[in-house]
Amino acid sequence: MRRFPVAPWPLSLQIVSGLGSLMLCGVAYAAWRAIPVPTGFTHTFGLGVAAVPLVVLVGALLFIVSGYRVDANALLIDRLLTTTHLPLAGLERVWAEPSVCRGSLRIFGNGGLFCFCGWFYNPRLGRYRLFATDWRKAVVLQFTDHVAVVSPASPQAFVDHLHRILPGVALGPEEGGTVAWFRRRSAPEGQGL
């Protein structure tokens, strides 16, 4: 199993993470200071409200992407305390493309507090799963039924390693784009694009 470090945080992620952390801590402190009475339900409820921003902050910290490990069977995305397991069965194409995430909309996940993780959508990739720190180091993994994007520090080394251990995997996007590929794949027989 080979380990690939995650791409260094760009200045934008550093600023958003720093300001977001300060804002969440500030909101928690302000909510704590606004608790009106020292005991009873109102006090307990106020403590719960004050804890919400801190829970969000700690939750985002736990899902930081710290690196990737790859073997012929799986891609493991290392987090602070856990690992996300992404089986490589069904991997058809892989390529590095710095602008592939441009214009993406977040469906569900973290959009910039310590990393970019979760489900995103853009017209080029359709719905995809993102585990990244720097969009400009994006590597696309196109599977038979889904797409994932990661951001290793050295995208080309990551692509080369995947191609070496899985030689049947094609390099580069399919002509017509990923979304066209999914539409053809999911169209009823005889009704391709």
Residue 118: which pLDDT band, with cuts at 50, 70 and 90?
Answer: very high
Region 67-87: mean pLDDT is 95
pLDDT tens across 120-154, in order?
Answer: 999 999 999 999 999 999 999 999 999 999 999 99
Residue 190: partners with Cβ closer than 8 Å, 6 or more residues away: none
Identify whether 35 is part of a domain: no
Residue 177: which pLDDT band, with cuts at 50, 70 and 90?
Answer: low
Which domain does 159 fall in, by range?
A: 89-186
Identify whether 5 is part of a domain: no
Identify whether 148 is part of a domain: yes
Nearest partner of 106 among 124, 126, 123, 120, judged by Cα: 120
Identify whether 27 is part of a domain: no
Identify whether 131 is part of a domain: yes
Say how many domains are in the chain.
1
Identify whether 66 is part of a domain: no
Nearest partner of 9 among 153, 158, 120, judged by Cα: 153
